[in-house]
Amino acid sequence: MNKRLNSISELISRSTLNHESSIVVFTGAGMSAESGISTFRDQNGLWENHRVEDVASIEAWDRNRALVLDFYNQRRRQLLQVKPNKGHEALVNIEKGFPNLQVITQNVDDLHERAGQTNVLHLHGQLRTSRSTGPGQEVYHINGSELSMGDTCSNGFQLRPNIVWFGEMVPAFEEALSIVSQCDLLIVVGTSLAVYPAASLLNYVSAQTDILLIDPNEPSFRGSKHIYHFPAKASHGLVELARLLMS
Ligand code: OAD
């Protein structure tokens, strides 16, 4: 059973963190919700009116490339209209006191970077880059929002969204695992922990390391003796955490 916190200070007041400590923040869609980007599993199982597997799988790409490109073009247009929220900003503040802070995100948006975060590892790819479908899998920045049929890499292969789809390997997973296994505090924000292997990162923290979940709903994950749940939105929880860590 995860322990429910009434206040984050219950956890932070007894922590032995110092400025050299390694804090890892693992974020999901809830991190960007207050910026206006919808989460995946909150609306009747539909993601912007699509079943996830109809737009975010290699089968979907093989079946209807134009539909998948159009879906991600819409996501990119939306991303260009939103801004980082107070939660993203609080994490940047925490990084000022804890320069080793590492963000590992499942999000494909660039809101952590736009807020000014230095160390961000994207587990599931990035919306504003494309990737070649050729053997080299070269990655390109997308200028603006549109990626279309006929847009090719320098070797003539069609470009696809640089997203890790269902059914694909997660290339950054090994690096994430190594980072998490050495951290002194793991903060998990706004993820249902329903998607693997990403969620399994929580299994790799050391036995002494506390895990703090910040999410209005309690994620179903169980497994460590040191999991604490603070039921709150990302902005509220992270502003409070920044205040405690920096005081
Ligand atoms: P989910 O939609 O599964 O979960 C979102 C979580 O955010 C839920 O636990 C909500 O309770 C929580 N939440 C909602 N509003 C919040 C707020 N304001 N502050 C904090 N938390 C809030 O999204 P993920 O767990 O990120 O993969 O989904 C994981 C992966 O599944 C995604 O990376 C995506 C998806 O398919 C790909 O696109 C490859």
Domain residue spans of the chain: 1-36+84-124+170-247, 38-81+126-163
Q: Give, rounded to a whole angstrom, the gap between the first and last alpha carbons of the chain.
A: 30
For ligand 1, the distance from its centroid to the CA atom of residue 25, given in whole angstroms, is 14
- Indicate whether residue 84 lines ligand 1 (CB < 6 A): no
- Indicate whether residue 233 lines ligand 1 (CB < 6 A): yes
Amino acid 45: pLDDT? 61
> Which pTM does this prediction carry?
0.96
**Whether 25 contacts 238, CB under 8 Å:** no
- Indicate whether residue 41 lines ligand 1 (CB < 6 A): yes
The CATH label, of 3.30.70.20, 3.30.1600.10, 3.40.1160.10, 3.40.50.620, for the domain at 38-81+126-163 is 3.30.1600.10
Amino acid 43: pLDDT? 63
Sheet bearing 102-105, strands edge to edge: 3-4, 227-230, 210-214, 185-189, 23-27, 102-105, 120-122
Amino acid 50: pLDDT? 83
Measured from the Cβ of residue 6, the count of other Cβ atoms closer than 10 Å reads 8
What string of pLDDT tens digits covers the 247 residues of the chain?
A: 689 999 999 999 988 999 999 999 999 999 999 999 988 876 666 677 788 888 999 999 999 999 999 999 999 999 999 999 999 999 999 999 999 999 999 999 999 999 999 999 999 999 999 999 999 999 999 999 999 999 999 999 999 999 999 989 999 999 999 999 999 999 999 999 999 999 999 999 999 999 999 999 998 887 767 999 999 999 999 999 999 999 8
Catalytic residues: 124
Nearest one of 168, 195, 42, 181 to 106, comparing CA atoms: 195
Helix 86-97 vs helix 234-246: crossing angle, to nearest 10: 20
Q: Does domain 1-36+84-124+170-247 have CATH number 3.40.50.1220?
A: yes
For ligand 1, the distance from its centroid to the CA atom of residue 30, given in whole angstroms, is 5
**Whether 198 contacts 106, CB under 8 Å:** yes
Nearest one of 34, 36, 64 to 234, comparing CA atoms: 34
